Structure 1
Amino acid sequence: MPLIPIESIDDPRIEIYRNLRWTNRTRDLGMMVAESLRVARRLVESDCETVTLLISDRKVDKFSGWLPPEVPVYVIEHDQATQLVGFDFHSGVLACGLRPPSPSLTELVDPDVAVQTLVACPRISDAENLGVIIRLANAFGVDGLIVGRGTADPFSRRTLRVSTGSALELPIRQSQDLEADLSSLQAEYEFEIAAAVIDERSIPISAVQRPRRLILVLGNETHGIDDSLEAICDHRWTIPMTDRVESINVAAAAGIFFHKFHEQSTSLEQQNNNVLDNSPST
């Protein structure tokens, strides 16, 4: 574990960590920055390559047990670190890694798995909402996420932190043409597409019976789902609520849908296993 002391915040070796509160330069550089002990460790333990770590001089002894021996670890005076990154460096650790490649549609689909759930986010603009969606998707067994060009960066520092590093485990496709991608999955892989909407004429979640291959589309926090994208959906599902509010947070709605699908997925997988067990042997 090479511990490298940093004497000045102008050291070019730590430039990637500068002004993180106000900038997201990592997106254009093919890198990402993980903040907090939990997320930094998940990066180190993931399949993504960790490039460097930056730790506070107050945390060296506490963190020494898990620091990877092959990765440069820059040690900086705590107050200097706060000045460098642009916020209170209370976690005492940041890690920089290479972003995972965006999977192809073929890589998102497992032909040997009978029940699959994908989630599409055309324009989730808030990084924290996206982070919660990713964390919930990972918790409830979603198989992959497809984000449109109008969606927040799934590997930004804020999104990674809120997702508690789940973005490092969940396959995430950054689509250049979301509508075309969904149409391909629909036509070539027999996925059915469901739009999560606010419309009392739509099917309530209590009556939803999910298909074996499902893509759930989550709309923008303010404007919902574009008409052209909603037009290719096979289903329109809604979460009934009182008239005390017009809507609930998109991440909260996602969690309700994901839990429902997870329960139904377990049942469908058991049915599939029973069919296989009862099939005549050749």
Structure 2
Amino acid sequence: MPVFPVESLDDPRIEIYRNLRSTNRTRDLGMMVAESDRVVRRMIDSECEMVSLLVSDRKLEKYTDWIPRDLPVYVLSESDASQLVGFDFHAGLLGCALRPPSPLLDELVDDDRSVQTLVACPGVTDPQNLGVIVRLATAFGADGLLADNTTADPFSRRALRVSTGSALKLPIRHCEDLAADIDRLRREWGFETAGAILDTTAIPLSEVKRPGRLILMLGNETSGLSDELTGLCDHRWTIPMTGLVDSINVSVAAGIFLHTIFEQGRRLEP
């Protein structure tokens, strides 16, 4: 593997790793940065095109066995790396890759399968919440995730870390017009939509019977789904609670919904 000792923090080859804590320039550049050996290894094993690794000199030997031979590795001290990236570089490893392309809408649909689940996350703005949702969606068999301009970046460093790299496995579509995409999925492929709603008129989850092709819609952490998207819901579902609290975290709710529809989906499959 080509190893390049970094002699200056102004080296343009490591610019992509600068100030990762306070900026997300990787999104504009079509790249993504992963941290921790587990997520970086999943990035390497994915179909994404790797760009480089940033490794501390103290940790280089630990990682050499599984670093691809043709992948550029930039090495510097832990203190210099911490100064570069903007946080404690104790893990000693970052990886950079090109982002996967946003799939076309029809690429999310399998014509041979009558049971499919897509998860829409408009307005989920916290990268940690989104990372958990991506991980849960992958664990419970979702076929893809729909994000829009109001959604946190699923390929940001924080979201990738929390999802443990699940965003590299789950097809994630960036929708320029989420409502239009949902409308097309309903009209052309027979999907039905279910909104996670805090409303006494919504159907309790214990009474829900999922349709075969389903879009589960999860809204903003505070305000929920917009009126426009709520109007697109064929079903309105809710999680009954004691009344001692009025809501739960969106990622916690996602886990409850996704497990329920996953179990029902298994029974629907031929």
Note whether the superposition's TM-score is higher than 0.5: yes
Answer yes or no: is 1:126 the counterpart of 2:126: yes
Q: Distance in 2 between matches of 1:36 and 1:154?
A: 17
Q: Distance in 2 between matches of 1:175 and 1:136?
A: 21
Letter in 1 for 2:202: S
Q: Percent identity?
A: 64
Letter in 1 for 2:261: F
Q: Shift of the alpha carbon at 1:13?
A: 0.6
Match of 1:66 in 2: 66
The TM-score normalised by the length of structure 2 is: 0.99
SS in 1 for 2:69: coil
Match of 1:243 in 2: 243
Q: Shift of the alpha carbon at 1:148?
A: 1.6
Answer yes or no: is 1:175 the counterpart of 2:170: no
Q: How does 1:34-73 map to 2 (within 5 A)?
A: 34-73=34-73
SS in 1 for 2:130: helix
Match of 2:27 in 1: 27
Q: How does 1:248-259 map to 2 (within 5 A)?
A: 248-259=248-259
The TM-score normalised by the length of structure 1 is: 0.95
Match of 1:233 in 2: 233
Answer yes or no: is 1:111 the counterpart of 2:108: no
Q: Shift of the alpha carbon at 1:164?
A: 0.6
Match of 2:82 in 1: 82
Match of 1:142 in 2: 142
Q: Runs (4+) of structure 1 moved beyond 3 Å?
A: none
Letter in 2 for 1:180: A
Match of 1:99 in 2: 99
Q: C-alpha deviations, 1:17-61, integer Å up to 9, x for none?
A: 001000000111000001111111111000000100001111111
Q: Distance in 1 between matches of 2:155 and 2:123?
A: 15
Q: C-alpha deviations, 1:238-280, integer Å up to 9, x for none?
A: 00001111100000000000100111111111xx2xxxxxxxx
Letter in 2 for 1:258: L
Q: Shift of the alpha carbon at 1:123?
A: 0.8
Q: Distance in 2 between matches of 1:164 and 1:189?
A: 31
Q: Distance in 1 between matches of 2:201 and 2:39?
A: 42
Match of 1:194 in 2: 194
Q: Shift of the alpha carbon at 1:229?
A: 1.0
Match of 2:6 in 1: 6
How large is the Cα RMSD of the aligned pairs? Answer: 0.7
Letter in 1 for 2:39: V
Q: Distance in 1 between matches of 2:58 and 2:244?
A: 49
Match of 2:212 in 1: 212
* Stretch deviating more after TM superposition (2-11 or 251-260): 2-11
SS in 1 for 2:133: helix
Q: Distance in 1 between matches of 2:141 and 2:79?
A: 41
Q: Distance in 1 between matches of 2:15 and 2:71?
A: 17
Unaligned segments of structure 2, at least 5 residues: none
Q: C-alpha deviations, 1:197-249, integer Å up to 9, x for none?
A: 01122100001110000000001001111111111110000000011111000
Q: C-alpha deviations, 1:87-110, integer Å up to 9, x for none?
A: 000111000100000001100001
Match of 1:279 in 2: none
Answer yes or no: is 1:160 the counterpart of 2:152: no
Match of 2:224 in 1: 224
Unaligned segments of structure 1, at least 5 residues: 273-282
Q: Shift of the alpha carbon at 1:113?
A: 1.5
Q: Shift of the alpha carbon at 1:169?
A: 0.5
Q: Shift of the alpha carbon at 1:78?
A: 1.0
Q: Distance in 2 between matches of 1:225 and 1:19?
A: 33
Q: Shift of the alpha carbon at 1:10?
A: 1.3
Match of 1:267 in 2: 267
Q: Distance in 2 between matches of 1:35 and 1:244?
A: 39
Letter in 2 for 1:247: S
SS in 1 for 2:39: helix
Letter in 1 for 2:139: A
Q: Shift of the alpha carbon at 1:122?
A: 1.1
Q: Distance in 2 between matches of 1:202 and 1:262?
A: 20
